[in-house]
Every structure is written in structure tokens, then in C-alpha cells.
Structure 1
Amino acid sequence: MSVTVAVSGAAAEAVARHVPQLVADGVAGRITTLDATLWGPAAEDEASKRLGWTEAVAVSTPLVDDILALREALRAKGVTHIVLGGMGGSSLAPEVITNTYGVALTVLDSTDPEQVRTALEDRLTETAVVISSKSGSTVETDSQKRVYEQAFRAAGIDPTERIVVVTDPGSPLDVAARADGYRVFNADPTVGGRYSALTAFGLVPSGLAGVDIAQLLDEAQAVSLELALDTPENPGLVLGAAIAGTSPLKDKLGIVPDGTHIVGFGDWVEQLIAESTGKEGTGILPVVLDVDSYEVTAGLPDVQIVRLVANERETREVREGEIEVSGTLGGQLLVWEYATVVAGRLLGINPFDQPDVESAKIATRGLLDARPEPAPALFVADGIEVRTSGGLELADESLEGAVDALLAALPADGYVSVQAYLDRIAHPGLAGIRDALARRSGRPVTFGWGPRFLHSTGQFHKGGPAVGVFLQIVGASTEDLEIPERPFTFGQLIQAQAAGDASVLAAHGRPVLTLTLPEVADGVATLRDRIG
């Protein structure tokens, strides 16, 4: 088998309890034959338009030759550097694919002006850019396209020779790009963004960067038949039952790479599961961990650990209470998609919609239109501005006191979400505060870079269980970057995204602590010293 799932403890009990019924109900076969009734009447309309990912290998295979031909044509023109402008599923899957294959790809999934500027200044004359947006109206990717068009023209390069568009047929981006003469790859419109890893969204940037995308599809094809069969060994049924069928539900899923050859898989799984299941007050929150993270050995009753292991460890006894998954990248992409929709059936929710994602976008647009002055800080400590919302009250005016107050608001079954609206390439060490906060709080902690997490875990934060507390870390850029033909800058956009999300979280009664860093480098160092 190309993918193996081993279970023990509560996960094994869940598999024993649920898989026989899933098999009896013909769930695997019905997913594969596009049966939209599996998730109940309320989900049927959406599901009827979102099951195309089960046929992704067959639909995507004809794209391979076109992608490889374009890669050779670009290389013949001296293009050796591929940039991807995309968000959510449009960027997370290509990042995992290229990292796993050891192929260079610059992923620009940010509106931070420093991160955008750094990408623009990197080998522009040798660069081609993939602009990837399912809806064709994503503000981040539209802004990235505009700034690259301007940069190419300033360098005497025709943008239509260097920008490749991936979008759904008939989207605003599809119509405009074709009219302007850009090369366009259309993706299957019956596949939602977070299920699109094996469609044009995953394949075009990865293939142009140098990945053997035919092999990736072959890996997925190798597990397709097994996933379609209603048997107790079906890895999609087993994994779905293990992650969503425990009783009581272990609704935090700690994802631990432990010997796997796949690089960064947890970030892709995080979006897939959080956005698919986090709604109607329920859901599963993925927590991306390392082997030595606090949550792995803390024995928290609501945390289910899943280890991604190497194939040669298949026969080793699974650690008590854990899940172990091994296999190829293409195989695992498809298995986890099946497992996620199986989890949706067990949880009683629609795994294809994202009803709370749009709220943050609407709040952002309102702030960009009105451009209000930021609310005054409650106080400034160590050069960092401190603000609160969502009912969070502070007892003293210090960074330590502010963080203590946020952690004190944690329910017994809660989690902490750290959201850093900063240049993730320049400040990777900031993620180290995740471990420190987990040890300090004794609870699971997620870490997301803004605004990309808004297209990932953002749905869970508003639609999932109301047990999260939120730490926003926001930069105040002194060197902004204009967005051509837009009335706002990149700096104003990322500030509005942070403020908009905070307002929506507060409206849902979620406590939010916002720390603004007027001097980003100094502020990051201070936070690592005070928290980490």
C-alpha cells in the first residue's frame, strides 16, 4: 500500500466503532461516485458542486504536458526562478510539494510590504510569476499581480511573457487575464480550494518550478482504488474515524513529522481540516508540532497525536494512544482529503463550505474604505503598543501582565492562537514563542502567519468551538509599498486585515490581545525575550 494508517488507544477504539458502519453505509464508494447526500440535506447543494477532487488525477493528467512545455519555454528564455502569488489552498499545497521534492519556489502568500518588496527584488529578470486564485477576486493575489506587472514593465519586460494565471473558468481573473493576453490554466471548478492540491493549483507552480508532477499524480493514482473500496482497511475511512470518532471527541489534532520525507505537510493539513470541520460550534483544530513540543507528551485529554513517519517504520508498534501515517506525498494528499470528508460526516457538518471566512474579508474592505485612525493603545510597554478586544481586561501595564491576562481567559478545554502579521521570511524565529506559550499555559497553541492563516484556520476561529484566545502581533511598517491603481498600500492592507479579523473575533466573544511593533525587529526580539 502507498499509504498506511496505524492506530492505538482511543483512536483504535474509534476505528473499531465507526469503520464497520462506514463500510456498511458504502461511504467510500459513494464519495468516489460523487454522492452529494452523504452530509445531509443542508449540505447537499454545496457538496454536489465540490466533489471533483476525487477525480483529480484523471482530470489533471492532460495538463502535465502543457505545464512541462511551458516550463521548457520559460527556461529557454532564461527564466530560472518561479514565484507563486496565492493564498490558502493555492499556496500551501505547492509549498509542500516543492519542498518535498527539493525544488525552489518563492511562495508569496503575504501582504506584508517588506516580504513583497523582498520577492520583487529577487532576480526579477530571471523570474516568472504564477498568480493563483480560485475565485479570481482575492485581494492579496490581485495586489501581487499588479505590483509584479509594474515591476516587469519598469524592467522592460512584457508582463504577459512572465505572468501565468491559474483560476476557475469564467472568474473575473480568467476573463481579464485572457483579454490582456496572459497564459491561463483553468482548474476544475468542482474542486474547492483546500482540496485542490492535485489540480492546476498544485500542479502549475510546482511543475514550472521543476517538480516531477507526473510522479506526484502516479502516487495519488496508486491509492485511488483502495480509497474507493468499502473495506475495513481503507486508509481514508480509518484515518477519518480515528480523527473524528473518538468519544469524547479529541478535538485538537497534534500533527508531528517524525521521520517522514514530506516537508511541511502539517501546514497543508491544518487548512484542510480546520476550514472543513470548524463550523456550527464543532470541529477539529490541527496543531502543527515538533517531536519535542509540549503537547506531544503532556497527555492532554482533548489532544490526539498523529505522527507522520517513514515507510520503514510501518511494522513498529504505534505509541499508545497515537495515530501513525506513512506513505508517498501524492498518496497522502488524497488520503487526507478522503479522511476529512469522512470526518465531516461523523461530525455532522458540511465539509465543503466556509461560512465564517467572508466575515473577516468584509471587515477588511470596510476598514480600507473608511481608513479610520487606529484605536489608541491602552499603554506602551518596551516600545510595544498594547490593545485588547473581545472583553479581555488587563490588570497591569506590562507585556507579561497582558499575556498572563490572555492566558487566564483560557477555558479548561481551550487553545491559544498566535497570529503574526509580519514578514515570515525575515522573522522565522518568532514562531518559537509557540512552544513557550504552550508550556506556560498548559494548553495547545497554534501559530499562524497573517494574512495567510485567514484562508486556513480563520474559519475554525469563528465557526468552531468558542474556546480560543488570540494573540495578534502586528508590524507598523516604516517603508510601505504602493499597490498600482489601488487607493491603499500593502501596509494599509495588512493593517486592515489584522484589525478586521480582530473585530470579527471580538464580535464572536473571543478575547484578543493585539501587540503592535512600531520597530519590528526590536519588537520581535523583545517578544522572544519576554515570552520565549
Structure 2
Amino acid sequence: MKVSCREEGVASAAASAAGRLVADGVPARLAAGDPTLWGEDAEAGTPAGPGRRGDPQAPYRGSRELLPELGRLAERARAQGLTHVVLAGAGGSPAAAEVICDTDDVPLTVLDTTDPGQVLRALAEPPDATIVVVADAAGSALETDALLRVYERYFTQAGIAPAERIVVVTGPGSPLEARARESGLQVLLSAPGSGGRVPALSAYTLVACALAGARVERLLDDAGQALPLLSLDTGNPGLDLGAALGGAALGGRDKLLLEDQLSAITGLPGWIEELIAGSTGKRGRGILPVVGADPHRSGDELVVAIESDVGDVRVDGPLGAQFPVWEYAAAVAALLLEVDPFDRPDEAGARDETDALLALPDLPAGAPAFTDGPVEVYGGVTAKDLPGLFAELLHTVPAGGHLSIMAYLDRLAAFDAPVPDGAGFEQLTDAWMMADAATLRALLALRTDRPVTFGWGPRCLHTTGQLHKGGPQNGVFLLITGAAAEDVEVPGRPYTLGRLQLAQALADLGAVETRGRPAVRLHVTDRAAGVARLLAAAQEV
């Protein structure tokens, strides 16, 4: 692994920050899991996390010890013709698994969503070829509970015992462990020390990756080469990267633009976004990761490039080493910002509010301020149409602030867009882009010099959600929901996936509104037509 600061100001800030950390003995203390780094609450025994207390390398050793079991699982799945591997989870593990499998070009279906359309897409695959990994460290996520129930029914209705096709990965003593054992499901427990923020190369990620055919042993080998470096005062890539991130943020450069267009690793910025936002965004502080954006070279931007010279900081190294180095760097940056990287207090609030909404007879959607074709607009706005609304929101973004778009929709729906017969790759790509809600980010980013971020819900609850609610209160929020053409019942629960998804979205919206931030919800009554109208309106601004 190599981290190099290519911009003089960043290099100077990083060197100063690293010098202070080394003087305090931080590299060795962080590598040893010294809890006193994070204050009295952590020292008193709040839940442990990698690098908080205990041995931070334990999760990686635990994953290596798990390799024989992973090999047996994968061999048995291949022998049974189980080629459709599903990972049902929430947080960083699904994002890490996507990076691993996309980089290795092996198929994996990730369900970290409650969108009924996206789940139905996965359920359309033949059950006799499907194996499901349900990964949840705490064992209490609403997404994993709902998806486990849906897949138990899916296999039962196909005449297949769920215990033959569902593998549960969770923490010792979690509610999910008890439920899984009671149902006779296969259970793999995480290694000690994997509490708090789950490391990317833990069992929560690697079980599904191994079943999908990814080279997990190579990942752990590469991580093993990097881990000894993380206790050093010099030649420590995690310290160098964390000092650059934290030092720049202390100097006002708290917008982290991630660039990876030339990298052989696929999709790493999406995982980094979850890591950095969740680790640093609290107590009114934080670093905002921005994925897929072109830099404006404004004073609050820091461009970090993976295997490219286009940024202020360059990070080189194999994927297996990138994971622990970035995890260490996130802890270093949080330490410089004087926040605990393993504490995510605002995520729990969103879950509690979702539970409260689901207990109501009807969800409090409210009345729209206006309707523009297949799009209903909710919130205190003065605009009368969508182009005017977008212009109003962009004008509302304060100096030093950002616009965040959160779409509680099917993130694969764009691939259903009609294309001409015989269309080439470029035509296919154009058709998909103009049916993809994520394109809204790029269109609005062209019309402002402030950062515009985009996240799929409810994934964003576990990624930028902590920073939105606990970080600097300078965001403007645009939340998109959609009517479900076909819904999915959640067995044993008094709600459907569509109702759960909308409740999560409303809880997310309410959380930013209670913090006094401008927030608007757009509801598309017809998803395909609604997304098309949003993209057309953005081009009219």
C-alpha cells in the first residue's frame, strides 16, 4: 500500500497532524485497540469495535480461521447447482461484498433494501438455484428481519427446507442467532472483536463472497501484508491517509471527492462513503464523501484518487489491503476531529422512529404542496413546478453546504428501460441513464458549484445517514419515494415491504427536518414516468 499527498497544502497539513499523533503514541495505541483514545465512555465498556478495545486484528484472524468452512460451503453449493447467491444485510458489509464480487467479476445479488420491486426481481430467480446469506451483526436490523421472513416463505412454497438454503451470519447472543437456531438454520458466528463497525473482511462479507466464487483467501493475504504496517510511526499508510483526511478537514476541506475511474477495483468509493460518513459524522463535525462528482476546485474540497494522479491524494494497493488501511484511516481522521468512529448514535433514532410509524394505522404522508404530472411534491416550498423546485433547492444550499438526494426506489429499475432493437452499448447506456434516478445527481450538479450526493434508500440510512443527522448541519435534502406497482407481504409482520420502505423514508425525512434542515419529498405515482419527469425537469433548470 502507498499513500502519497500530491498537493503541497494537503501534504503540510497531513505531516503536521501525523506528527502530533505520533508524539501521542497513537499508531501503536490504535493498533492495540486502546480504548482511552475514544474517551471515558469507551473506556468504561461501551460496545467494542475494531480498533476500540481488544485486538483489532482479531476479526481478520477469525476470517482466516473461517476459510476451511467457507471452502466447504462453497463446494457444497457448487455440487447442488446453487448459482444464485443472495446477500441480505445492511450497512458496510453488503457494500464491501459488492466491491469484492464486482472486482472479481462474479455474480452476487445484494439485497440491502426493502424496495418490493428490487426484492421481487431477486425472487424471480429459480429457488432450486438460490442460496441466501443473511448477515446482521447486531441481529436487529429491520431489513434483514423482513428479508429473512420473505425468503423462508419463498423456499417453503417451493418445497425446499429453508434450513438447506439459508445461512445466518451474526454476533454471539444476538436476537438473530436465537431465532435462526430455533428455526434450524445454519449459523456462523462472527469472530470476537467484530462488534461496533464491522470490518470489511469479516464473516459478514466473506461468506457470501466465497459462495459467489470470489478469491477471499487472496483478499486476506493482501490484508495480512498491510496489517503489520498499521502500528508503525513511519511507513504507515493508514496513518498517512487518515492524517491527510483529518488534517484537511480541520483546515476546512471537509468534502471528500472520491475518484476511481482508472482503478482496476470496481466501486470502492461506495464502500468508502459508508465508512467515512459513519465514522466522522457526529457532534456537528464530519467529512462528507462525494461519489461520482467532478471537482469544482472550491476551497472545501479534497480529491482522493484510487490508482490515479488526478487527485490531491493518491492511494495505491490491492483491494484486500485497501480495506484495513481505509478503516484505520477513518479512525485516525475521527480522532483528529475528536469524535468516536465506532459510535453511530443517530442510526438508532431512525430505526426507533420507523418502528413508531409502523405502529400507526396509516403512515402520515401528508398532503402534497403541488403535483407535476406523475410527481407529488411534499414540503414547505414556494415553487409551483419541478424546475422551479430544483432551482429553489439549489439556491437554498448554504456556503459550505451540500445537496443530498436520497431515493427510496429500486436501484436496478433502469435496466428495464425499453431500448431499440439492435442497440449498441452506447445506446443501451444512454437509455439506462435516462431511466435511472441516480442521473438526477449529475444533472443538478451541473447547475451548482456545491457538492451534490446521491444515495439509495434504505441503504443511505447506514451510509451517509449518520453524517446527515449528526454531522455539520449545512445540508439540503431531497428525498424520493415511489408507489409500488406490486408489493410483498412480510410473513409474521403487520406490514408489507412497501409500507416498511415508506416508513423508513418518512423517518429519515423527519430526522433531518427536526434538525431544522430544508427537506422536500418527491413521490412518484408511476415510477418509470416519474423518474423520466424528474430528469426532464432537472434539464429545464
TM-aligned CA deviation for residue 44 of structure 1: 3.0
Contact 1:88 1:193 in 2 (8 A): no
Instruction: Give the aligned partner of residue 345 of structure 1.
Output: 335
Instruction: Give the aligned partner of residue 103 of structure 1.
Output: 106
- Structure 1 counterpart of 2:454, from 447, 457, 471: 447
Q: Distance in 1 between matches of 2:63 and 2:305?
A: 30
Instruction: Give the aligned partner of residue 69 of structure 2.
Output: 66
| 1:176-187 correspondence runs (5 A) | 176-187=179-190
Deviations along 1:211-242, one digit per CA (max 9) or x if unpaired, are 111110000001111112121x2111110010
SS in 2 for 1:356: helix
Deviations along 1:386-405, one digit per CA (max 9) or x if unpaired, are 001xxxx4223111112222
1:20 equivalent to 2:19? Answer yes
Contact 1:7 1:242 in 2 (8 A): no
Task: Give 1:376's aligned amino acid.
Answer: A
Instruction: Give the aligned partner of residue 419 of structure 2.
Output: none
- Structure 2 counterpart of 1:144, from 140, 144, 147: 147
Q: Distance in 2 between matches of 1:80 and 1:382?
A: 42
| 1:194-213 correspondence runs (5 A) | 194-213=197-216
Q: Distance in 2 between matches of 1:338 and 1:270?
A: 15
Deviations along 1:143-179, one digit per CA (max 9) or x if unpaired, are 1111111111111111100000010011011111122
Task: Give 2:358's aligned amino acid.
Answer: L
* Worse overlay, 49-58 or 104-113: 49-58
Relative distance call for 1:502 and 1:430 in structure 2 (3 A) is: same
Instruction: Give the aligned partner of residue 435 of structure 1.
Output: 442
Task: Give 1:32's aligned amino acid.
Answer: A
Q: Distance in 2 between matches of 1:16 and 1:265?
A: 26
| 1:103-502 correspondence runs (5 A) | 103-192=106-195, 194-231=197-234, 233-246=235-248, 247-289=250-292, 293-294=293-294, 296=295, 298-309=296-307, 318=309, 322-370=312-360, 371-388=362-379, 393-427=380-414, 429-502=436-509
TM-aligned CA deviation for residue 373 of structure 1: 4.5
User: Could you state the TM-score of these two structures normalised by the residue count of structure 1?
Assistant: 0.93
SS in 2 for 1:166: strand
Contact 1:36 1:48 in 2 (8 A): no
Any stretches of 5+ residues in structure 2 without a counterpart? Answer: 415-432
Any stretches of 5+ residues in structure 1 without a counterpart? Answer: 311-317
User: Could you state the TM-score of these two structures normalised by the residue count of structure 2?
Assistant: 0.92
Contact 1:5 1:325 in 2 (8 A): yes
Task: Give 1:493's aligned amino acid.
Answer: L
TM-aligned CA deviation for residue 195 of structure 1: 3.6
Q: Distance in 1 between matches of 2:364 and 2:347?
A: 25
Q: Distance in 2 between matches of 1:362 and 1:103?
A: 36
Relative distance call for 1:5 and 1:164 in structure 2 (3 A) is: farther
Percent of pairs with identical residues: 45
SS in 2 for 1:245: helix
Task: Give 1:328's aligned amino acid.
Answer: P
Task: Give 1:407's aligned amino acid.
Answer: L
* Worse overlay, 140-149 or 431-440: 431-440
SS in 1 for 2:403: strand
Q: Distance in 2 between matches of 1:181 and 1:363?
A: 32
Relative distance call for 1:9 and 1:350 in structure 2 (3 A) is: same
Contact 1:381 1:399 in 2 (8 A): yes
Q: Aligned pair count?
A: 513
Contact 1:82 1:128 in 2 (8 A): yes
Contact 1:14 1:242 in 2 (8 A): yes
Relative distance call for 1:381 and 1:74 in structure 2 (3 A) is: same
Relative distance call for 1:491 and 1:304 in structure 2 (3 A) is: same
Instruction: Give the aligned partner of residue 430 of structure 2.
Output: none
Task: Give 2:31's aligned amino acid.
Answer: T
